[in-house]
């Protein structure tokens, strides 16, 4: 049975993604996720869960929550008006370019650190 859950409590998502409930509520305050409510309790849909995954990966690659929100929003209006579309493309492209630059920096840093490690390991002494 491919655990086909479609709704999650805050605790479930916290555990799955190793984040605190506070963080999830914070993302909600910042309008990054908008789970439904049953009474006062939050119910996260599969889509919310996917967005959360996106958010966390965005964070790992060094995007700010603001950046992430913008990108998520752009996704949502992917079917929007033509004028908007160009802007959307522009911004996404800009983020892609920034990320590629970041990758260059990372490669350089990794290489430099690796050389250093190799040097240390090679020391006979």
Choosing from 2, 4, 5, 40, the residue that interacts with DNA (CB under 7 A) is: 40
Which of residues 31 and 86 has its CB atom nearest to DNA in the complex? 31
- CB 4 → DNA: shortest distance, Å? 19
Contact footprint for a second copy (CB under 8 A): 57-58, 60-62, 71, 74-75, 78, 82, 85, 88-89, 92-93, 95-96, 99-103, 105-110, 113-114, 116-117, 119-121, 123, 125
Sign of the Cα torsion 55, 2, 38, 13 reads negative
Q: How far is CA 106 from CA 16, 22, 65, 88, 101, in A?
A: 28, 31, 21, 27, 9
Binding to DNA in span 53-72, by CB under 7 A: 59, 64-66
Q: Dihedral, CA atoms, 56, 60, 66, 71, nearest 10 degrees?
A: -70
């Amino acid at each position: 049975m491919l655990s086909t859950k479609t709704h999650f409590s805050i605790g479930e998502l916290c555990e799955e993604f190793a984040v605190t409930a506070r963080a999830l509520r914070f993302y909600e305050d910042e309008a990054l996720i908008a789970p439904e409510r049953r009474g006062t309790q939050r119910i996260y849909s599969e889509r919310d869960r996917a967005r959360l995954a996106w958010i966390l990966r965005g964070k790992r690659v060094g995007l700010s929550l603001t950046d992430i929100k913008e990108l998520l929003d752009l996704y949502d209006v992917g079917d929007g008006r033509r004028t908007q579309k160009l802007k959307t493309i522009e911004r996404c492209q800009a983020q892609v370019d920034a990320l590629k630059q970041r990758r260059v920096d990372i490669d350089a840093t990794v290489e430099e650190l690796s050389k250093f490690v190799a040097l240390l390991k090679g020391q006979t002494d």
